Each structure stands twice: as structure tokens, then as C-alpha cells.
Amino acid sequence: MPQPIPSPQWHPHPHPGPGGVPPFPQPRKWQTLKIVAITLGATLGGVGLLLAGLGFLFYQQVSPHGARCSEVMEFAGASMPEQATEKKCRDDGGWLDRSYSATFRMPKEQLTERLLGAFPRVRELKSSCVGRVCSVATCKEDACFANVDEQEVPTGKASHVELEVRYEGDTALVMLQAFNV
């Protein structure tokens, strides 16, 4: 019986596998190296980008840095008192939150009035009693102010503004915290 003539597109494999199916063709050495190099490069590049991103986030989360006092006061919805000296302001926030702090010194004379004028959102925290119910201010310094029980829409962008005052002779050290929760 005559042998069939194979079509030009099909060439029988010289060594057919079981059942007459040709074995899987073996890739050439350069093709294997190319695939390995591309896979390895993509993996290392992805890991590098991930580590760089995590490093940036870690740096932002744990490293407070200096800030303009005008930026801090705008966030707090306040103005720096005219009598303030030795002003130091910094950004304590990370990538998910905003938080600022500032310290400055002021004359001790008429301090409460000056702070309430410069920080219209805050009230002085004092222990008070109405009948048998008392509220105790939790203040570790000589005087404390905070924005509690706001009835109006607050100015500034901070949800919380807190001031602590430590008296030092004729002056007072004022410590500001303005932050979002």
C-alpha cells in the first residue's frame, strides 16, 4: 500500500511519543535564560518598589519635621499671639493623619485673656461642680485650654486643639497640640 504524502504544514516527528503524539518540544538554552531573566527582573523590581514605598511610609509616620508657624496656626484655627517669643512649630503627622505642635513663650500677665483672644476655639479647663455633679479638669500643667463642646462650626481644620501652660517666673511656656482623630 502506498504511503500517504504529508501536507507541507505537517511534518511527522522523527521520534513520536506514546500513542504517536510527538513529545513536548525542548526550549533552546537562550529562550530559557531569557524567561528566567525577565521573571527575576520583574520580581526584584516589584520587591524594590514595595520596599521603597514602605520606607517612605515609615519615614512619614515616625519623623516629625519643622513647619511654618503660620501653617500650624491656620490648621488650629488660631493666630500666634503678638507677645509670643521663642516660637517652634513642627508637623507631627503621618500619611493618614494630620497633627501639629508648637511651643512658645509669653508674658504671664493677662495670659488667659491673650490666649482666648488668639485661640477663639478653646476654653479654659477648670474643675467645676453643679449641685452634686463635678467635672474635674485633667490638666498636668499650671493651666490648660481645649476646644470642648463646640456649638458652632469650628474655624481651622483640626478636630482637636489643646493648649497647656507651664509658668516659669514672669513668663509662661505654652504648648499647643492640634490634630485630627
Reported as a single tens digit per residue, the pLDDT across 3-58 is: 766 555 555 556 666 666 655 555 566 677 788 788 888 888 887 787 776 666 55
Q: Which of 103, 105, 78, 74 is nearest to 90 (CA)?
A: 103
Mean pLDDT across 97-119:
93
Residue at 114 is within a domain: yes
The total number of structural domains in the chain stands at: 2
Same domain, 125 and 111: yes
Burial class (CB in 10 A: 0-12, 13-18, 19+), 139: middle
Position of cell 504529508?
A: 6
The rounded distance, in Å, linking the Cα atoms of 95 and 99 is 10
Longest distance between any two alpha carbons in the chain, whole Å: 121
Scored b (16 or more CB within 10 A) or e, 147-172 reads: beeeeeebebebebbbbbbeeeeebb
pLDDT at 44: 81
Same domain, 31 and 91: no
Residue at 165 is within a domain: yes
CB 148 within 8 A of CB 123: yes
**pTM greater than 0.85 (yes/no):** no
| Highest mean pLDDT of the ranges 46-50, 86-90, 146-150 | 86-90
The rounded distance, in Å, linking the Cα atoms of 77 and 156 is 4
Q: Which of 105, 110, 108 is nearest to 87 (CA)?
A: 105
Residue at 56 is within a domain: yes
Q: Give the CA count within 13 Å in the CB-facing half-sphere of 134.
A: 7
Residue at 46 is within a domain: yes
Same domain, 129 and 166: yes
Same domain, 40 and 127: no
Same domain, 31 and 89: no
Residue at 8 is within a domain: no
Same domain, 139 and 158: yes
Whether residue 85 has pLDDT greater than 90: yes
- Domain span including residue 75: 65-179
String of DSSP letters for 28-62: PHHHHHHHHHHHHHHHHHHHHHHHHHHHHHHHHHH
Scored b (16 or more CB within 10 A) or e, 30-57 reads: eeeeeeeeeeeeeeeeeeeeeeeeeeee
Same domain, 103 and 172: yes
Residue at 77 is within a domain: yes
Same domain, 51 and 140: no
Q: Which of 93, 142, 150, 153 is nearest to 115 (CA)?
A: 142
Residue at 5 is within a domain: no
SS3 18: helix
pLDDT at 118: 94
Same domain, 88 and 142: yes
Same domain, 45 and 97: no
Residue at 2 is within a domain: no
Same domain, 76 and 110: yes
Same domain, 156 and 143: yes
